[in-house]
Structure 1
Amino acid sequence: MHMLEAGEYKLRQGVLELIAGIALNSVEGASGVALRGEPGEEGRKKKNLTKGIKASHSEGKVTLDLEVHMDYGLDFHAVGAEVQRRVKEAVESMTGWPVEAVNVDVVGVNAV
């Protein structure tokens, strides 16, 4: 929780997870576990973007753990680094809280 001159604002864990999920799924070649499957499937709803994402906020810092699927044939290290960069940038720019770590756990490979 952060104090403002005229009050305070709070961010729930789910908000941090949703920001991370949207940023993760913006990276070409990577997707969260909620977006497995064929494009256009009913499972691709905003409420599912947080599946496989865990956020914690302690002592003013955010840590994010992401379960990720990556497209077959890509450089997983490079894609993972881009996921980390985009998620960190999105969370920090929207919340003002520093991101201590973005941990990427590749749990599957998408056939393309």
Structure 2
Amino acid sequence: MRLTDYQIQAIRQLARQVAGSQSRVRVFGSRLDDAARGGDLDLMLELPEPVDNPALMAAQMSAQVSRIMHGRKVDVLLCAPNLMRLPIHDMAFKEGELL
């Protein structure tokens, strides 16, 4: 995984701030390939409770993580009981790694 220990800890902390203490964050996509270069960061926030404003939550998480990643593009996917589950969720669960 192409993230530093500092970045991993910061992402975990931001997930708790933005999505609550019961949230979990999973990395998926190109950042898992140690041989690759560049690329955006794909994250999935797993939430045990329904989300009132998913677009705002995803945008807040993306912006804050982008800052610690020196402006790198960050895509945030949410998984919550009240949100539709799409094939990308299945891919993130299958291939992703929990932080």
- Tell me the TM-score normalized by structure 2: 0.53
Structure ranking higher in strand proportion: 1
Distance change >3 Å, CA 65–CA 104, structure 1 → 2: same
Distance change >3 Å, CA 81–CA 21, structure 1 → 2: farther
RMSD: 2.9
Q: Work out whether residues 47 and 78 of structure 2, in 8 Å CA contact, stay in contact via their aligned partners in 1.
A: yes
Distance change >3 Å, CA 70–CA 92, structure 1 → 2: same
- Percentage of identical aligned residues: 15
SS at match of 2:49: strand
SS at match of 1:91: helix
**Bigger-Rg structure (1/2):** 1
Q: How many residues align?
A: 73
Identify which of structures 1 and 2 has the higher relative contact order when contacts are C-alpha pairs closer than 8 Å and 6+ apart. Answer: 2
| Structure 2: runs of 5+ lacking an equivalent | 83-99
Aligned-partner Cα distance in 2 for 1:107–1:11: 29
SS at match of 1:86: helix
| Structure 1: runs of 5+ lacking an equivalent | 1-9, 37-50
Distance change >3 Å, CA 26–CA 52, structure 1 → 2: closer
